[in-house]
């Protein structure tokens, strides 16, 4: 199979125009705006404009959009100077009126407060948006901008020679796919072929910290889809652009005209960069007389639908979740599945322009994202919607299996059918255990859209005789609640995009003082902290690209509260490692853990790693499997060998001693959260 190499993109000079390097953090966020200076200045913008003019480049709307946005920000400087009203808001429901508050929560504004400012590890690498940049983005979130743009649709667009559905790496399925279905309807109405477009964008993958496992999973799913699309005589057209900012222009100027396409359909991705890209596509497309439709599909309830009684967005999960369940009861059509797309006429192959697309090759790998463990990962997470459906079926109808946390196929034989003792029926307790397949393992499939949230809840509904349960008193109800967390964190990210720009939701914690300790960071990544449950989880993460929820929380908490390392370092590492890496969920999980997020774990509640270990892995099987140095230990010693064994015996294990003392590190964390901006030694 061919290997994808990065293509130079002559049309994308716009990248060179920005003097600020975009960063992986920016990725999901604000590529040009992320820098360490606390006050982004107009000088940068003037330079960028000058560079833009000097190069005599054709207008690139996306870049212009960024520049205009910055200009607008300067004009609004007065507005920002005073900082947000620290008292004005009730918890989690900032004003979303015409003049939005930019600090979601009272309690201090990073950068505005005079604190002893120590550079944090992450900031040194230039990964965190300034308070102002984030505030500006929150004030008029890109999703709102896109929505406004789409409200004034393009009228009377000629039908063109085909309709294009642009499949993204988050909606890789044929069934229940809103944009695919609507594109198919339009193609049928016009009597023209439907083409599926997939854009490979290594530049995006780099900047967005994509893992090799996730990119490989994406390619495997493309390979799964291609023959299924061909059965419908629908070609899968693959293009590749390394320079992500050039994508709108390349598609609108080159790809769509070459296909004679006037109508484009896509599902919305809620990350800031992706929204900005789509805004540019809509604008550029309209300039060329195209009709571009961006549709809600990813979530069960589209962002913005759930508001408090006062009409404000909600940031506390429990009331939000109740409103979510109430809305689904009132509008069950939100759960309706879209019909699958119809086949093209076979004559599509008579037109040379479309015929050749059937030969488009899916690369074996993307340069820079070769997955060394591909075979193993493909065994643990086989691709395809049919697999996802079978995993869901097994979760609902078969018993948990103790060996399923290992490197084994989830489709292996031996799963015993049982409704009464099925995994979902035991989910209330099972979800906190790591020594078996107690949860669904569907996160990679949901993150890549191989199966939809609606499809998943449709089965949950069937399981309970047609009524969707979402209360905590049954296993299935509790599981549905977990699925709603996915919606919730996407709502949060769409409403307060600041969270995806390296900013804490609670700005009052922006200046918590982190340690800068590369050795500790590396020990955490390598699973060599001397805390067995953390080490087991981190080694499992490396081997499988996946972790059970409980150990995601434990290992994240260990990084933040025990090692006192910046949560953004952990967030980035998880994204770079996970096959299910998803910005909204990952950021939500990290900000919860770091006590900086919406509805977070209070900062004074610090996980005791040892207690957590004994609860989530009661027999120590998970630890023994993933940390072979401890495989022969009996009883409780496996959770805490350093303290439970004579030192001479411990030394023989070849396993590290704990790199921090739990009690001392706990006190340190409490001090630093309580006294933001300070270190306990006054340094």
Which one is catalytic: 482, 649, 667, 680?
482
Which one is catalytic: 62, 320, 496, 514?
514
For ligand FAD, give the closer residue by CB, 453 or 532.
Answer: 453
Q: Is 317 annotated as a binding residue?
A: no
524 part of the active site: no
Both structure tokens of 221: 């799913």
Which one is catalytic: 11, 379, 485, 614?
485
CA–CA distance, 306 with 327 (Å, rounded to integer): 8
Minimum Å distance from CB 441 to ligand FAD? 5
| Ordered alpha helix ranges (H), 356-502 | 374-380, 385-397, 427-430, 443-447, 453-463, 475-495
**232-261 residues near ligand FAD, rule: CB under 6 A:** none
482 part of the active site: yes
Q: Is 459 in the site for ligand FAD (CB under 6 A)?
A: no
- CB count, 10 Å around CB of 664? 10
The residue whose Cβ lies closest to ligand FAD is 589
**414-453 residues near ligand FAD, rule: CB under 6 A:** 431, 439-443, 446-447
- Range 589-625 burial, b when 16+ CB lie within 10 A, else e: bbbbbbbbbbbbbebeebbebbebbbebbeebbbbbb
514 part of the active site: yes
496 part of the active site: no
For ligand FAD, give the closer residue by CB, 32 or 552.
Answer: 552
For ligand FAD, give the closer residue by CB, 232 or 334.
Answer: 334
567 part of the active site: yes
**558-597 residues near ligand FAD, rule: CB under 6 A:** 574, 578, 580-582, 585-586, 588-590, 593
For ligand FAD, give the closer residue by CB, 52 or 573.
Answer: 573
Segment interacting with ligand FAD (CB under 6 A) among 64-72, 357-365, 483-491, 504-512: 483-491
Which residues are CB-neighbours of 262 under 8 A, at least 6 positions away? 157, 158, 159, 160, 256, 289, 290, 291
CA–CA distance, 143 with 277 (Å, rounded to integer): 11
Q: Is 556 in the site for ligand FAD (CB under 6 A)?
A: yes
Look at residues 313, 292, 316 and name the one whose alpha carbon lies nearest to residue 302.
313
For ligand FAD, give the closer residue by CB, 141 or 588.
Answer: 588
Q: Is 441 annotated as a binding residue?
A: yes
Segment interacting with ligand FAD (CB under 6 A) among 220-228, 313-321, 376-384, 547-555: 547-555
Look at residues 167, 175, 170, 443 and name the one whose alpha carbon lies nearest to residue 298.
170
320 part of the active site: no
Within the chain, how many helices (H) and strands (E) appear? Answer: 32, 5
Rounded to whole angstroms, the maximal C-alpha distance in the chain is: 82
Please give the distance of CA 598 from its chain centroid, rounded to a whole number: 16
Minimum Å distance from CB 586 to ligand FAD? 3
Stated length of the chain = 683
Kindly determine how many residues on this chain lie close enough to bind ligand FAD according to the rule CB under 6 A: 29
CA–CA distance, 73 with 375 (Å, rounded to integer): 49
CA–CA distance, 223 with 231 (Å, rounded to integer): 13
CA–CA distance, 575 with 577 (Å, rounded to integer): 5
Which residues are CB-neighbours of 311 under 8 A, at least 6 positions away? none
Minimum Å distance from CB 439 to ligand FAD? 3
Indicate which residues carry an active-site annotation: 482, 485, 514, 549, 567, 590
Residues flagged as binding site: 427, 439-443, 479, 482-489, 580-582
Residues flagged as binding site for FAD: 427, 439-443, 479, 482-489, 580-582
Judged by the rule CB under 6 A, the positions of this chain that interact with ligand FAD are: 431, 439-443, 446-447, 482-483, 485-486, 489, 548-549, 552-553, 556, 574, 578, 580-582, 585-586, 588-590, 593
């Amino acid at each position: 199979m061919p290997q994808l190499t990065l293509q130079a993109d002559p049309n994308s000079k716009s990248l060179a125009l920005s003097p600020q390097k975009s960063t992986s953090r920016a990725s999901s966020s604000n590529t040009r705006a992320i820098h360490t200076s606390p006050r982004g200045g107009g000088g940068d913008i003037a330079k960028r404009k000058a560079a833009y003019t000097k190069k005599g480049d054709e207008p690139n709307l996306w870049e212009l959009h960024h520049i205009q946005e910055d200009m607008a920000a300067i004009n609004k400087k007065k507005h920002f100077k005073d900082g947000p009203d620290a008292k004005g808001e009730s918890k989690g429901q900032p004003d979303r009126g015409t003049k939005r508050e930019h600090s979601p929560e009272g309690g201090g504004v990073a950068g505005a407060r005079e604190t002893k400012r120590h550079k944090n590890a992450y900031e040194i690498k230039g990964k965190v948006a300034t308070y102002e940049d984030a505030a500006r983005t929150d004030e008029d979130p890109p999703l709102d901008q896109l929505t406004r743009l789409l409200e004034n649709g393009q009228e009377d667009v000629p039908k063109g020679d085909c309709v294009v559905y642009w499949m993204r790496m988050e909606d890789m399925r044929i069934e229940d796919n809103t944009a695919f279905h609507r594109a198919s309807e339009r193609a049928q109405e016009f009597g023209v072929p439907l083409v599926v477009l997939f854009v490979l964008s290594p530049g995006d993958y780099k900047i967005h910290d994509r893992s090799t496992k996730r990119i490989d999973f994406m390619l495997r799913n493309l390979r799964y889809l291609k023959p299924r699309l061909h059965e419908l005589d629908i070609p899968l057209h693959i293009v590749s652009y390394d320079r992500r900012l050039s994508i709108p222009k390349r598609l609108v100027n080159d790809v769509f005209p070459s296909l004679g396409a006037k109508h484009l359909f896509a599902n919305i991705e809620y990350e800031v960069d992706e929204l900005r890209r789509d805004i540019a596509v809509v604008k550029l497309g309209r300039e060329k007389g195209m009709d571009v439709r961006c549709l809600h599909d990813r979530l069960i309830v589209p962002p913005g639908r759930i508001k408090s009684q006062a009409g404000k967005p909600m940031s506390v999960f429990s009331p939000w979740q109740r409103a979510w369940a109430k809305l689904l009861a009132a509008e069950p059509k939100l759960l309706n599945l879209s019909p699958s797309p119809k086949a093209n006429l076979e004559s599509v192959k008579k037109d040379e322009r479309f015929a050749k697309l059937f030969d488009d090759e899916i690369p074996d790998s993307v340069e820079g994202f070769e997955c060394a463990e591909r075979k193993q990962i493909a065994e643990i997470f086989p691709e395809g919607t049919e697999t996802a459906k079978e995993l869901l079926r097994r979760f609902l109808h078969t018993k948990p299996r103790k060996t399923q946390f290992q490197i084994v196929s989830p489709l292996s034989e031996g799963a015993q059918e049982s409704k009464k003792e099925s995994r979902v029926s035991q989910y209330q307790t099972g979800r906190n255990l790591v020594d078996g397949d107690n949860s669904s393992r569907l996160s990679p499939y949901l993150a890549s859209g191989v199966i939809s949230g609606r499809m998943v809840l449709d089965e949950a509904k069937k399981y309970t005789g047609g009524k969707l349960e979402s209360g905590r008193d049954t296993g299935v109800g509790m599981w549905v609640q977990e699925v709603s967390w996915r919606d919730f964190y996407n709502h949060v990210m769409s409403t307060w995009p600041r969270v995806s720009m390296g900013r804490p939701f609670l700005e009052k914690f922006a200046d918590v003082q982190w340690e800068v300790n590369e050795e500790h960071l590396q020990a955490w990544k390598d699973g060599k902290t001397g805390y067995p449950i953390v080490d087991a989880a981190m080694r499992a993460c490396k081997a499988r690209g996946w972790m059970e929820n409980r150990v995601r929380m434990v290992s994240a908490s260990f990084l933040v509260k025990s090692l006192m390392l910046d949560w953004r370092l952990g967030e980035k590492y998880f994204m770079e490692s996970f096959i299910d890496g998803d910005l909204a969920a990952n950021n939500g999980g990290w900000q919860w853990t770091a006590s900086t997020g919406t509805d977070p774990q209070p900062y004074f509640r610090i996980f005791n790693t040892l207690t957590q270990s004994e609860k989530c892995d009661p027999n120590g099987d998970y630890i023994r499997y993933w940390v072979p140095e401890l495989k022969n230990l009996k009883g409780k010693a496996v959770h805490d060998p350093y303290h439970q064994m004579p030192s001479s015996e411990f030394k023989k294990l070849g396993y590290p001693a704990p790199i921090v003392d739990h009690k001392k590190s706990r006190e340190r964390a409490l001090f630093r959260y309580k006294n933001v901006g300070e270190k306990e030694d006054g340094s």
